[in-house]
Structure 1
């Protein structure tokens, strides 16, 4: 498995990686128009006001006490992920979360192209808060995107069954059991931006690296880097593309068989409930 990337420490580094992740989502057809959003939590001091000089007090859409004193970089509502790399100041805002975990200072640039942060900010905050509270991590990254093939499959009822979705998608690439030892979580369609979606997403990502929002897209989490979160979406979308090709062809291919996936897991020492080798693989862990 690849070596871990160290979470980046400077504001510029984090902005560059958010831009690279956003550009990649656009390249794979997962962020049409203004679809998708990204956030990164950094539990360390960042020098932001020289870059984002405008400051305003805001009330957070949900309490995030575990993030108090930290910083959250997030995309603006209506911005395009593909444009962040070249124009980060226009598309990103930086939130400094105050001690009460319910209020914050929002730092932006005069050239910003949005009036508020992403409409999914409540889900981003809830997941980051849960992850930091559970692991003590000082870094947490989330990417929400709408990959074409995976989102299409979630419009078919059998693919909204988590067992069936995982069974069908894990058979196309040996890497899947390595990347998703816990499998992927699946939620039914829930109103975008709602408190219900926020709660369900935080619960799903407590035990999984990626959750499918049926008929909407996905959200992926990494405590290593935002690019790793984008990688998770790319891996799953590739398997979904295989699945769609197989459906179009009349399903002639069987893919990897369960015993073959188990053999891969055993050879790599992967403890995974997906193949019955073991239960309780470390939550959110990334090799």
Structure 2
């Protein structure tokens, strides 16, 4: 039987973490990603039958009991994951009490899941209420979106409209807009819960002056969502670099036509 180390899941996380690092979104040990797997997904791997150790979650994840997560380790560098996935990634299964996770593969040098893992689990729980196919939570530090959080009012409607109008693809890719939480200390359950609350309505949430949380059904979709948000923020940054004088722009009516053409529903609270 195939070793989990050689699985498409490990290979894809390696690919995405490397791409995210190459984009400049994950300096040093910044960023983390988790991929939810099902029992069917892991059933073919014979090397997952032994619990290596049991980890304390510090959070009640009983809503996800029995679910499997491939998750990056705390303190590790995205640029290295592709070279040493057995050290920088771990496959865990949430225990029946929801307070712990059994480590089945990875973290070979004693590593632990990312400190943001409770925040990931909270977002997984909330997004599964909206979309049963949701599998991915990704946190990273897109440069231009972070810059935007310093120069623009932290208002979801205003930021969403701005990003929608920077390029036609934005409205198509994230028609619900972007959620925003206040600045909060990262790595805490408080920011995790605030983010999860926003995840009821949004698939991408800005952490001002820090980064972004994105979700999706696949790693590619989630990466592409963040990529599109960051591209729009980059265009806005370039406008500023060119003097900031906007002489023409996508209008609200054109956004409505765009939504109709691509059969998406723009957030009615942002675009009536």
**TM-score normalized with structure 1 length:** 0.85
**Alignment partners' CA distance in 2, 1:90 and 1:232:** 28
Q: Name the counterpart of 2:151.
A: 156
Gaps of 5+ in 2: none
2:257 corresponds to 1:260: no
- Aligned ranges for residues 1-287 of structure 1 at < 5 Å? 12-45=7-40, 46=42, 50=47, 55-109=52-106, 111-112=108-109, 115-137=111-133, 139-158=134-153, 160-223=154-217, 225-253=218-246, 254-273=248-267, 276=271
- CA distance in 2: counterparts of 1:197 and 1:110, whole angstroms: 26
Helix, strand or coil: the match of 1:208? Answer: coil
In 1: Cα distance, 2:88 partner to 2:149 partner: 29
Distance between the aligned counterparts of 1:127 and 1:206, measured in 2? 9
Query: Are 1:178 and 1:270, in contact at CA under 8 Å, matched by a contact in 2?
Result: yes
Shift of residue 111, structure 1, vs aligned partner: 4.2
Separation in structure 1 between the aligned mates of residue 215 and residue 5 of structure 2, nearest angstrom: 20
Equivalent pair of 1:60/1:102 in contact (CA under 8 Å): yes
Higher helix share: 2
1:124 counterpart SS class: helix
Structure-1 separation of matches of 2:130 and 2:203: 14
Unaligned residue ranges in structure 1 (runs of 5+)? 1-8, 278-287
8 Å contact 1:171–1:256 — kept in the other structure? Answer: yes
Query: Secondary structure of 1:119's partner?
Result: coil
Deviation, 1:31, is 0.7
Aligned positions, number = 265
1:10: how far off?
10
Taking only aligned residues, the RMSD between alpha carbons, in angstroms, comes to 2.3
Question: Do the aligned partners of residues 134 and 272 (structure 1) sit closer, same or farther apart at CA in structure 2, a change above 3 Å counting?
Answer: closer
Q: CA deviation at 1:115?
A: 2.9
